A and B are shown apart, each in its own frame.
Chain A
Amino acid sequence: MSAVLQESPLSTDIRVPEITDAVVEPMDTRPGLLWILAFLLAQGALGIGVISVTHQLMHGIGILGINNTVGWGAYITDFVFWVGIGHAGTLISAILFLFRQKWRTAINRSAEAMTIFAVMCAGLFPLLHIGRNWYAYWLIPYPNKRDLWVNFNSPLLWDVFAVTTYATTSMVFWYVGLIPDLATVRDRVKGIRKVIFGTLSLGWKGTGSTWVHYERAYAQFAWLATPLVLSVHSIVSFDFAVSNLPGWHTTIFPPYFVAGAVFSGFGMVITLLVVARSTMKLEHLITMDHLDLCNKVILATSWIVSLAYLTEIFIAWYGGSYYERYAFLNRAIGPYWWAYWTMMTCNCVLPQLFWFRRIRRNLLIMFIISIFVNVGMWFERFNIFIISLHQDFLPANWNYYVPTFFDWATTLGSFGMFFTLFLLFCRVLPVIAIAEIKSVLPDPVGNFTGKKEAE
């Protein structure tokens, strides 16, 4: 298995300068109609989100669907959903790097961009959810007149540290990876863009004495990001697992959340790559083999997630706790049965289609499945948070949570923000790690006889 994966799926016919041309070309040409339409759509969604958030800032979180019983609604679902989406990018950029998986070089740049944008979306939701948003800085321990510190025994505070560290490290890792490619672009453009890329590329000249340090730094980031990414979603799961609520209080949460995060993240990777590779004419660099491998990861993580669901159900029965047993029965046949079975269908049943090679290599079907994977993972979080909360220990308090227009509008707005940022990224930065993909070419002489010699 690993021997197969370590092969580079790139053709031996691709020459080095052609890679540069193919990656830089979308930055030099005018955007196509599809891009403009997608951008307008994303802007529209973002606009709705901005209006909704403005309304919330003016009137408070009372406009949301949350009630006395269900204190965490769609916002927290969105938060965990977006943090999860980010995990695939770090998995590809850091963990696959440590395992020397050469195929990652075609998709790591866009996946890392996706990570950063997803974490930015995620970070918005707790900040909006705290209510008095202008006191958001109280989350950070700083010397203050009130002589108070934050509570380090609280998993919610661990989350503040985990997500900010994750956002910072991902951005630094991404930027360091971009430096040689920014220099490549700098040497090909003119005018104001040369000044911008010259500044951003930090005067990169590609000298061997710099590459020595660069390679070490890059590997260092991978070593740091690997435990970091595993810790981040574990800590997100502590927000729930450390509490004492049936349905939340389970030790399986950290690995189950991490696997789910990778599962949903790869779903988003497929959603983005299927569109990006064809509209940007990068089929020869992001090949069908790459998508095939991503789909295999989706299939594998789907099974981990399914196993976690079954384990939870088994332990709820086997553990003998009356409340725990009720919580899980309530998920499947309670008032939110529709959310539970949406999750089960999208996360456990539909990805099984990826057992078939022809489906793993069919662009339309994999695109549709990837959308369902994302829907399913959103509902997984909805199930965990809302179903566990809506019937608490006093039956008089039992309540049915319905997201309001503003919940949905802000959720839509986060998608708008995500796609706006991603579409802009496709236009202004190299979407493929140029220097990295060149260094994993299959290596016959054909790749290196540059066509530019005719000039």
Chain B
Amino acid sequence: MKATQFVAGFTTDPHKFLELGEKARGEGFKNIDSTMPYPVHGFEEAYGHKGSWIGLAAFGALIIGWIAGFSMQAWMMSVDYPQNVGGRPQISWPAFVPVTFECGILLAALTTLISLIIAGKLRPNPMTDVVNPRLTDDLFSIVIPFKTEEEKAKAESFLNGQSLEGVEVHDLELLDPRYIKP
């Protein structure tokens, strides 16, 4: 069974927000997440996020772009339509360097964009529902998903003891498009 709801605890203080992540993980809550209006230094460690794979994807795309860009030029200039310009080499590689470089950068940049859309679960949504409009302004929240009533009660009692600016229960579909009910 997958969790479909979560308990959220709100605060405007980024320091408190970081402590909250550490404490929640210390209490044994699993799969906790958060929402932030702006990134706070150190949230990855506090909330136990693993690193992103986007760097690797972009690096791979860079190498592939370089290989593809160079091969394209070498093939066009020496195999498909070879020309004899005063006996000079057909694969005059120094002249191919700028285009090779740009091909790699272009592919890596576009790969980074697509990777971000996939990894960050970004989907254009004209009717975006939000938990609280202040979550993109100044309000932080810790997100504790639950499956059973016991887990819910445990999360609520933990968050109620942290003197936060509010504790609420919401559906996960508000945060993650994968949970939107058909």
A: which residues have CB within 8 A of B? 15-17, 20, 141, 147-149, 152-153, 155, 157-158, 161-162, 164-165, 168-169, 172-173, 176, 179-180, 183-184, 186-188, 195, 198-217, 219-221, 224-225, 227-228, 231, 235, 238, 434-436, 438-439, 445, 448-450, 452-453
Contacts and interface: CB of A to CB of B under 8 A. Distances in A.
A170 B110 CA distance: 11
Q: Which of B98, B110, B177 has the most CB of A within 10 A?
A: B98
A421 B67 CA distance: 37
A141 B76 contact: yes
B122 A179 contact: yes
Nearest to A192: B126
A221 B99 contact: no
Q: Which of A149, A186, A453 has the most CB of B within 10 A?
A: A149
Nearest to B97: A158
Interface of B: 12-14, 33-41, 43-44, 47, 49-52, 54-55, 58, 62, 72-73, 76-77, 80-81, 85, 92, 95-96, 98-99, 101-103, 105-106, 108-110, 112-113, 115-117, 119-128, 130, 133-139, 143, 165, 174-177
B98 A238 contact: yes
A220 B112 contact: yes
B164 to A, nearest CB: 13
B136 A180 contact: yes
Contact of B49 (A141, A180, A209, A224): A209
Contacts of B92: 153
Contact of A149 (B52, B81, B96, B110): B81
B13 A187 contact: no
B102 A203 contact: no
A424 B137 CA distance: 24
B174 A141 contact: no
18 contacts: A152-B76, A153-B85, A165-B109, A172-B110, A180-B38, A184-B37, A186-B128, A187-B137, A198-B124, A204-B136, A205-B174, A206-B36, A207-B143, A217-B115, A220-B54, A235-B98, A435-B37, A453-B12
A439 B39 contact: yes
A115 to B, nearest CB: 14
Contact of B33 (A172, A180, A208, A214): A208
Contacts of B139: 450
A38 to B, nearest CB: 30
Q: Which of B43, B44, B113 has the most CB of A within 10 A?
A: B113
A212 B113 contact: no
